[in-house]
Amino acid sequence: MVTRSHDAHRDEFNPWTRIATLIEEAGHLLKLSEGMIKRIVTPERILEVAVPVRMDSGEIEMFTGWRIQHDSSRGPGKGGIRFHPSVNVDEIAALSADMSIKCAVVNIPYGGAKGGVKVDPEVLSREELERLTRRYAYSISPIIGPDRDIPAPDINTDPQVMSWIMDTVSMLRGHNLPGVVTGKPLAIGGSLGHAGATSVGVSICTVALLQQLGRRAEGQRVVIQGYGKVGAPLVKQLSDRGMKVVGLADIHGAIHVPEGIDAQLMASHVASTHSILGYPHGEEIAASELFALPSDIAIPAALGGVIDERVARSMSASMMIEAANGPTTGEGAAELARRAIPVVPDVLANAGGVVASYFEWAQDLQGFMWERDLFRQRLEKTMHDAFDSVWARHEQLGLPLRDTALVVGVERIAEATELRGLFP
């Protein structure tokens, strides 16, 4: 179960302790009552499920999964499902709270939720992955639905996994239910413009921060950690805006390309080799050296907890955009603040994905698909409005952007909680 630890070593690595502390600090800045702060911090529902799967060999393997609904004061829960060996209850709880804040910061009518299964999908066959997905979906089906909690893809899950979840829940309910998940293929209720929406939001926040700092986008040197669903589109999007991606890392290693990466060439290279290593114009470096490369902008777009005090101290960039969920530890954040390096936090920077999910969900409920241009126009407006709102509050309060975004999110959740009251 989710607990608050007083052990310093555990706190350093516990994502739940980190986000709970941030929410508490924001609540105290807003002068909320202790009761209200406790209500906002505490998850509403934690469901742990056993996931038995018949393997291709005929043997039964047992896996553990979770679905955690953190807050529903502003609307149904929203958050991804991840399949990864590192998944645990504290990680899922932290990510569900992160989603509550994120949805409030971009001002969409959702609460926060998150799910996951502790499994390495790389060792599963396609048939085993489908059986695991459907059994997990069956187990969490009583608490999900278009008006309760709407899952989406996350690490190691994709539109196909969402299709299996949607089909499983639809069979259980006895009717088609496209709005039960987002991130689906177009053929079964997906949305034009959803793919790459998180990267679009990150690029919008990058340019917006540069403008506020009086800097031009052209020629800015960027390092990106991660070349997946977010990092890969970012290379092209930032290059199209005149920036140079000079450093890149994936699970295999890191490279330095001082003249800037050619996005199309890199995409072709990865498609054929499944790694960024061996890129024709890149010098292979230690992954630990990525953020120390000469650069202007750092973008962690992989797993959480990678920007610790050591990395923050050696970081060359003068600004950071958090494309990953929870990439910065408490000590790392303190060091970046000490060095006066502005950071657009994950609850704002990578919110393009959940905004796109909101649009897909709305279209599923309406039974009407928007045109791609309308989708992109509304996505950009929502992200610009969110950035402007956080920046205005940042100037008013004189707080770092991370603290400001938390204040904006917690304040909106507190307002909804107060208006709804306490039942019974």
Active site residues: 114
Distance between CA atoms of 92 and 102, rounded to whole angstroms? 15
* 185: nearest Cα among 157, 159, 158: 159
Collapsing DSSP to helix, strand or coil, 111 comes out as strand
DSSP assignment letter at 221 = E
DSSP assignment letter at 245 = E
Instruction: Give the largest Cα separation in the chain, rounded.
Output: 65
Distance between CA atoms of 354 and 329, rounded to whole angstroms? 23
Whole-number CA gyration radius for the chain: 21
Tokens, residue 230? 């977010």
In order of 121, 160, 306, the CA distances from 274 in angstroms are 17, 20, 23
Total residues belonging to the chain: 424
Distance between CA atoms of 131 and 142, rounded to whole angstroms? 18
In order of 81, 279, 307, the CA distances from 269 in angstroms are 29, 7, 28
